[in-house]
Chain A
């Protein structure tokens, strides 16, 4: 049963699993307490924080653990906006940000703020000059993902960070899709991530806020996690996240090259094997493990269901697969075909044989679905 949906969640890394189980034994106590078991939990939490901080090139006191990547984004965006409220209420985001960023932007608008969305090209990439042009004297925050979660396109973070620095605007980088896979360019003020995207456990997000970045919690006061994240710390989760990030970062050079080659094969072969297919996203500046294509004249839901029947787990950005019955805002912003959409994202260890089998079943699957939809041409 090949699992090709790593972009939704990466299976738990064995290193994370054993760290998690160990920490349930040793790190269950309240890290805020002064007795032995509490001190041990605090030590494990501090060690996990230091390990991840080192990977992100931040100071441990700049890093907080949240309950999810989405919560990290919400706190990062709303906290940075609150911290710079006197500067202005203008927020700049790219049109293809993760829904957590766009929903935080909507909350900011409901609260009387103003949002500018920077458009993307056909590859889903923002133009750094267009992003820079959107920055204003009253811009409180700018947000740009490191890489797109639906089409894999790597964004020009370094150039945009330079423009933001020039304008004196803090930049929040949502690095959920690239953490553990690729280094994050310097120059950001806030960074968010999610442990289950790199083989860690669910329920652990990362929020890094650089020293000197104005930030005020949008939530009621709480003394935990440096007053940034409310609630009892998930020490086992943090320990497992650190173990996962270390493990995948060690494996990344070899594994990225391998997966990137398999993705290149899919990008090359799908249009050759199946007529009327649009492969989307940047062919070069992309995540190593992710590729998205749309099969014309086929429903996204139908192709996902059919591939599942054949044993392949893939995701789709087509409207029929979404609760809202709207196509993916990413595909819309790019101006590419939204129906018949298939996102393949390879987890660590995905094999060439699995990819070949996928390529072997795809043409007949597309043909069968087209026939049943009454497509004759």
Chain B
């Protein structure tokens, strides 16, 4: 079901200037674009250990379910969800800080 709450994924938006990322740069960038949930979360769970404590892992994903599932996974796993950044080509980069 599709309700008002969230804008649909960007449709062929004209190339926008790449925004300057807020916050610390990602130590590790995972690309789950085009992959359906739960794959982005599986990738995050399997590879967050490659990141030193206190560093950032970023996950790029365009399945809208990731917007709910990645913060929820961080809450369950006691990792810090830092922010969600909209990507110019559609989808988002989710930034997670490894806490343990």
A375 vs B39: C-alpha distance when bound (angstroms): 10
B1 within 8 A of A: yes
Determine which of B68, B71, B76 lies in contact with A327 in the assembled complex, contact meaning CB atoms within 8 Å.
B68
B38 touches A106 (CB 8 A): no
Contact partners of A296 in chain B: CB under 8 A: 38, 41, 45, 73, 76
Query: Considering the complex, which residues of chain B in the window 58-100 have a beta carbon less than 8 Å from any beta carbon of chain A?
Result: 63-65, 67-69, 71-73, 75-76
A338 touches B69 (CB 8 A): yes
Look across to chain A and name the residue whose beta carbon is closest to the beta carbon of B67: A332
Contact partners of B26 in chain A: CB under 8 A: none
Look across to chain A and name the residue whose beta carbon is closest to the beta carbon of B6: A332
Query: Considering the complex, which residues of chain A in the window 338-377 have a beta carbon less than 8 Å from any beta carbon of chain B?
Result: 338-340, 373-377
A276 vs B45: C-alpha distance when bound (angstroms): 11
A336 touches B72 (CB 8 A): yes
B64 touches A106 (CB 8 A): no
- The bracket for how many chain B residues form the interface is 20 to 34
Query: Considering the complex, which residues of chain A in the window 249-305 have a beta carbon less than 8 Å from any beta carbon of chain B?
Result: 276, 278, 296-299
Contact partners of A340 in chain B: CB under 8 A: 38
A79 vs B99: C-alpha distance when bound (angstroms): 52
Query: Considering the complex, which residues of chain B in the window 1-60 have a beta carbon less than 8 Å from any beta carbon of chain A?
Result: 1-6, 36-39, 41-42, 45-46
- The bracket for how many chain A residues form the interface is 35 or more
> Nearest Cβ in chain B — how far from A291, in angstroms?
18
Determine which of A106, A297, A338 lies in contact with B42 in the assembled complex, contact meaning CB atoms within 8 Å.
A297
A326 within 8 A of B: yes
The stretch that binds B, out of A49-57, A238-246, A316-324, is A316-324
B36 touches A320 (CB 8 A): yes
B38 touches A327 (CB 8 A): no
Look across to chain B and name the residue whose beta carbon is closest to the beta carbon of A276: B76
A299 vs B6: C-alpha distance when bound (angstroms): 22
A339 vs B45: C-alpha distance when bound (angstroms): 14
Look across to chain A and name the residue whose beta carbon is closest to the beta carbon of B63: A319
Look across to chain A and name the residue whose beta carbon is closest to the beta carbon of B71: A335
A337 within 8 A of B: yes
B5 touches A326 (CB 8 A): no
Q: List residues of B whose CB falls within 8 A of some A CB.
A: 1-6, 36-39, 41-42, 45-46, 63-65, 67-69, 71-73, 75-76
A-B pairs with lowest CB-CB distance, top 3: A339-B38, A339-B37, A327-B65
Known: A319-B64, A331-B68, A373-B39. 9 other contacts (CB 8 A): A102-B4, A106-B3, A299-B36, A299-B37, A324-B2, A327-B64, A329-B3, A339-B65, A340-B38
